[in-house]
């Protein structure tokens, strides 16, 4: 047995193992991934797996299918020959592999540490070990037919023997030659679309599986709200697509890109890094459900728009464009934060006052920001100008707004403490409070977004979920 065996087993699809393992406690039937608290809809695991599988690229999905076909062949061939792997066999196999890992790493690693590094649970590792035992016994059986009486085989011989057996098996992957719901067959073993979808799902992180289930829950809730055959209007899709692009653009702007730098190529590269495209995102059933629900809520707001405006006047009142210089300061003695010394309150006050005097004497404020501010490099490079307007309700900048609104354009405030350190703020531009009619559409948009978030949160709150979303 050699260390590469472990690496090969770590790459195997998790559900391909059939060792008896105690089932996890689950509040829902085994075939249900989620259900409405009052039973108005449900999401079957098979649907979740098939939906998640659509997020894979063709080449990756086919590779997983082919690996799974081979594993199912090993299991079936071992069963046909009467071979079994007991818990004691699995324990011995894992113990031998652990010794290999320790020897190869000079004692720095163990089988347990490698499993943790790959995110593999103990139960999943045992299932892989179960297949590993069967795989070795199949190979030994083949060599003994030829008179070879060895009790152990090197990995190369195991691979050769199993590959020779698998190559002789009858395999079919043409959908036109297979029954409905079956994606592949090895000898008499049928691999259903459920089996295949489940294998694909095991290449996702738990976070991605949860996201896939959330998408299906939103589709179900949209059907509940709008009817089974709902379709988003063309203007709903267009508005939602614009909203989606704007969410990505905001991330770019926060990263320091200006509007003229956010080209279609930038969008394409960003989505490609996430394994998707704009077209596939827009075709997603959950995307269409969100577009339809958002459109419905926009058209049924009624007097909620005016009420939202009155409750959030600060958000739509006077707004300011400001630049700031920030000096991190804490407590009454100097401390270390992320390996860097942080000023005391008194040190921060003295330094801020000295910088303020220099600015009042005519030194360039943007240059002082670049030299002295403790903000990030992108904000410093911009001369401290915040990449958004601030108003009375801007989260984290309420004090900044109160100080800046007292200034005339291009004037700076005296240093003041904002809870984290000392700040000097400069007023760059001011926009006076508009009337309700001037901001009606903006308020309508914000009100609809709040209503959508309430609907979405309610949808998730009343969704009863399985305790686990994958089957090991």
DSSP 88-110: HHHHHHHHHHHHHHHHHTTTS--
> Which residue segment(s) compose the domain that 84 sits in?
3-34+48-201
Q: Is residue 39 part of a domain?
A: no
Residue 148 structure tokens: 């070879």
Residue whose token pair is 């030194």: 363
**365, 384 contact by CB (below 8 A):** yes
Q: Tell me, yes or no, whether 126 and 165 share the same domain.
A: yes
Predicted pLDDT at 274: 64
Q: Residue 255: pLDDT band by 50, 70, 90 thresholds?
A: low
Q: Which of 174, 201, 228 is the last residue of a domain?
A: 201
Do 238 and 129 reside in the same domain of the chain? no
| Residue for token pair 């495209």 | 277
Residues 280 and 404 in one domain: no
Same domain membership, residue 97 and residue 193: yes
Closest residue by Cα to residue 358 from 424, 403, 427: 424
Percent of the chain with pLDDT over 90: 43
Q: Identify whether 53 is part of a domain.
A: yes
* Nearest by Cα to 198 from 76, 45, 10: 45
Assign 379 to helix, strand or coil.
helix
pLDDT of residue 32 exceeding 60: yes
Q: Kindly state whether residue 307 falls inside one of the protein's structural domains.
A: yes
Residues 224, 169, single domain; the answer is no
| Mean predicted confidence (pLDDT) in 285-295 | 93
Question: Does 17 lie in the same domain as 126?
Answer: yes
Average pLDDT over residues 136-140: 93
- The domain boundary residue, chosen from 201, 222, 240: 201
Residue where a domain stops, chosen among 146, 175, 201: 201
Of the candidates 184, 192, 179, 216, the one whose C-alpha atom is nearest the C-alpha of residue 70 is: 184
pTM for the model stands at: 0.59
Report the range of poorest mean pLDDT among 37-46, 74-83, 432-441.
432-441
* Angle at the Cα of 401 from the Cα atoms of 395 and 405, rounded to 5 degrees: 160
**DSSP states along 420-435:** SEEEEEEEEEEEPPPP
Q: Burial of 236 by CB count in 10 Å (0-12 exposed, 13-18 middle, 19+ buried)?
A: buried
Q: Are residues 197 and 267 in the same domain?
A: no
> Quick one: 53 and 179 in the same domain?
yes
Helix (H, G, I), strand (E, B) or coil at 350: helix
25 plus 166 within the same structural domain:
yes
CB 451 within 8 A of CB 305: no
444 belongs to a structural domain: yes
126 and 7 within one domain = yes
Asked if residue 40 belongs to a domain, the reply is no
pLDDT of residue 8: 44
DSSP state of 414: P
10 and 145 fall within a common domain: yes
- d(C-alpha 49, C-alpha 173), whole Å: 19
Looking at the structure, tell me whether residues 210 and 197 fall in a common domain.
no
Domain presence at residue 52: yes
* 41 assigned to some structural domain: no
Structural domains of the chain, count: 3
pLDDT at 342 over 90: no
The CATH number that applies at residue 377 is 3.10.50.40
- Has residue 405 been placed in a domain? yes
106: CB partners within 8 A, 6+ apart: none
């Amino acid at each position: 047995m050699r260390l590469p065996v472990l690496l090969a087993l770590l790459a195997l699809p998790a559900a391909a193992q059939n060792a008896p393992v105690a089932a996890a406690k689950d509040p829902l039937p085994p075939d249900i991934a989620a259900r409405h608290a009052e039973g108005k809809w449900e999401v079957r695991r098979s649907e979740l797996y098939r939906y998640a599988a659509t997020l894979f690229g063709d080449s990756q999905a086919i590779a997983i299918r082919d690996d799974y076909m081979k594993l199912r062949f090993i299991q079936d061939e071992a069963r046909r020959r009467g071979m079994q792997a007991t818990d004691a066999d699995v324990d011995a196999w894992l113990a031998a592999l652990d010794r290999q890992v320790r020897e190869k790493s000079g004692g720095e690693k163990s089988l347990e540490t490698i499993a943790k590094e790959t995110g593999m649970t103990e139960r999943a590792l045992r299932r892989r070990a179960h297949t590993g035992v069967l795989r070795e016994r199949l190979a030994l059986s083949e060599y003994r037919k030829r008179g070879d009486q060895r009790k152990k085989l090197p990995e190369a011989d195991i691979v050769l023997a199993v590959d020779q057996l698998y190559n002789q098996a009858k395999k079919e992957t043409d959908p036109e030659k297979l029954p409905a719901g079956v994606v592949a067959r090895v000898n008499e073993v049928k691999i259903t679309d459920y089996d295949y979808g489940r294998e694909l799902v095991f290449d996702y992180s738990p976070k991605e599986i949860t996201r896939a289930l959330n998408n299906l829950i939103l589709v179900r809730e949209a059907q509940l709200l709008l009817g089974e055959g709902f379709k988003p209007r063309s203007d709903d899709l267009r508005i939602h697509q614009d909203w989606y692009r704007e969410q990505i653009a905001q991330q770019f702007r926060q990263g320091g890109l200006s509007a003229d730098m956010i080209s279609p190529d930038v969008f394409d590269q960003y989505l490609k890094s996430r394994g998707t495209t704009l077209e596939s995102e827009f075709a997603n059933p959950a995307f269409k459900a969100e577009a339809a629900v958002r459109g419905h809520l926009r058209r049924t707001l009624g007097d909620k728009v005016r009420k939202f405006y009155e409750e959030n006047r600060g958000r739509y009142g006077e707004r300011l464009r400001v630049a700031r210089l920030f000096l991190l300061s804490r407590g009454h003695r100097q401390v270390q934060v992320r390996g860097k010394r942080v000023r005391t309150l008194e040190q921060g006050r003295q330094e801020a006052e000295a910088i303020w005097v220099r600015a009042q004497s005519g030194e360039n404020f943007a240059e002082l920001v670049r030299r002295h501010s403790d903000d990030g490099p992108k904000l410093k490079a911009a001369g401290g100008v915040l990449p958004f307007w601030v108003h009375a309700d801007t989260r984290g900048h309420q004090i900044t707004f109160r100080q800046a609104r007292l200034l005339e354009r291009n004037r700076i405030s005296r240093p003041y403490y904002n809870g984290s350190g000392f700040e000097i703020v400069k007023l760059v531009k001011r926009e006076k409070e508009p009337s309700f009619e001037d901001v009606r559409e903006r308020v309508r948009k914000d009100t609809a977004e709040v209503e959508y978030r309430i609907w979405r949160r309610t949808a998730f709150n009343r969704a009863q979920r399985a305790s686990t979303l994958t089957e090991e």
